[in-house]
Amino acid sequence: MYRTLLLLTVLVLSIPLAAQAVTTQEVVNQISVASFQAYNQALPTHLGNNRCINYQLVGNVYEHGADHDTARDEIFQWFRRSGWTTFLDPINITDTSGNIWTGANVIAVKQGTVTPDKVYLVMAHYDSTANHEPGGVFTSAPGGDDNGSGVAGILEMARVFGRYTFDSTIIFVASDGEETTAYGNDGITYRRIGSIHYVNKYASTLPNIQAMISADMFAWQSSSGPGYIRLDSGYSQNTALDSQITSALKTYGGFTTVQNVNSQNYSDHVSFANQGVPALMVIEYNWSSNPNYHHMTDACDTPNYINYTYGTNVVKGIAGWLCERAGLNGTLSSSVPSVWPEKFAALASARDVITPILKGTVR
């Protein structure tokens, strides 16, 4: 009897314990208000900051605002620190007047482990806009909400997702030049410079993209609709995507969605949607009533302005959608990287440039 019990004990102990499957809700729960806020405030999103891509023309070259490149470099660093394969994708345009526009998208890739050629892409522009304030003053909007909130959102998802694996590939893009238009001497109108650059340069990869979301401006909460979020969609290919993101924003963010079926070229998703990719924008409800929109007071330190809880709930909704669609399938490490609230004095020495043969994956 003793020998039989001993044998049974050995057999039981020799059976490998099944790994406990991680759930989407467990991942979403790690999206943090404190971390989202830290990213937003560590970016140059403060009163007086200038992230414009086309702030002034010097000779025949457009120069960026003083904080544009700082934002680009910090985003690059933070994606890398969260374990993502990260590239700077330079943009060079000569317009019809012979003037030169430059910029760069920051692209972060987590390759899928089962179906890597299926891609889910979320884009958030990191440039801000120049504006003529009352009295004829030409200045820049720091972009604490538009679109420091979207950038902080993709950085926060990258931080949390860095711990996990997915069936399909996820790409985050911090895009440049969303707030401006260049008329290229190549005959291309670069309306939303960074996204037009992406779809033109990587045209052969667009069929790989299962869905694209523009995360654009979602940290101001309208008093007339505190539980609402808006989708700009309206494309025939978006039927499934509209339903999926509406459900995820409700389940993981607690939102009721209001859908606008006329996107009117408001954001980067239009560049993808016009090429047949299912694509939409997630934006704060009643955004056009935001009193600081495109003004110098669109800053993270404007009193009673940025609502970090509201913004974090939007990030949770998008994160839940990504986990469901890209196929959350495992855990790489036991802990999520800590919050990165500090600024960086130096860049990583390596600077990769994404190649035209990138098909949504890194081989």
Cis ω for the linkage preceding 147 (within 30 of 0): yes
Q: Give the other-Cβ count within 10 Å of 300's Cβ.
A: 25
The predicted pLDDT at position 332 comes to: 86
CA–CA separation, 296 vs 117, rounded Å?
Answer: 42
- Is 41's pLDDT higher than 90? yes
Within-domain flag for 123: yes
Mean pLDDT score, 265-279: 96
CA–CA separation, 252 vs 320, rounded Å?
Answer: 6
**Structural domain count, the chain:** 1
Q: At what angle do helices 308-326 and 33-42 cross, to 10 degrees?
A: 110
Per-residue CA distances from 361 to 54, 94, 105 (Å)? 31, 29, 16
pLDDT category at 339 given cuts 50, 70, 90 is low
pLDDT category at 7 given cuts 50, 70, 90 is very low
CA–CA separation, 147 vs 127, rounded Å?
Answer: 7
The predicted pLDDT at position 9 comes to: 32
pLDDT averaged over every residue in the chain: 87
CATH number, position 83: 3.40.630.10
Within-domain flag for 348: no
The predicted pLDDT at position 11 comes to: 33
- Is 290's pLDDT higher than 80? yes
pLDDT category at 13 given cuts 50, 70, 90 is very low
- Is 12's pLDDT higher than 70? no
Structural domain that includes position 322 = 19-331
- Is 280's pLDDT higher than 80? yes
Within-domain flag for 351: no
pLDDT category at 204 given cuts 50, 70, 90 is very high
Within-domain flag for 23: yes
Mean pLDDT score, 252-276: 93
Mean pLDDT score, 192-204: 96
- Is 358's pLDDT higher than 80? no
- Is 67's pLDDT higher than 90? yes
pLDDT category at 168 given cuts 50, 70, 90 is very high
CA–CA separation, 332 vs 161, rounded Å?
Answer: 10
pLDDT category at 20 given cuts 50, 70, 90 is low
Mean pLDDT score, 312-325: 98
- Is 175's pLDDT higher than 80? yes
Mean pLDDT score, 44-58: 93
CA–CA separation, 280 vs 241, rounded Å?
Answer: 8
Q: How far is CA 284 from the centre of its chain?
A: 15
- Is 345's pLDDT higher than 80? no
Within-domain flag for 358: no
- Tell me which of 2 and 114 has the higher pLDDT: 114
Within-domain flag for 91: yes
The model carries a pTM of 0.88
Within-domain flag for 357: no
Q: Which residues lie closer than 8 Å to 258 by C-beta, 6 or more apart?
A: 225, 228, 229, 230, 231, 285
Within-domain flag for 360: no
The predicted pLDDT at position 226 comes to: 83
From 63-72, 299-308, 330-339, 345-354, the region with the lowest mean pLDDT: 345-354
Cβ pair 91, 199 in contact under 8 A: no
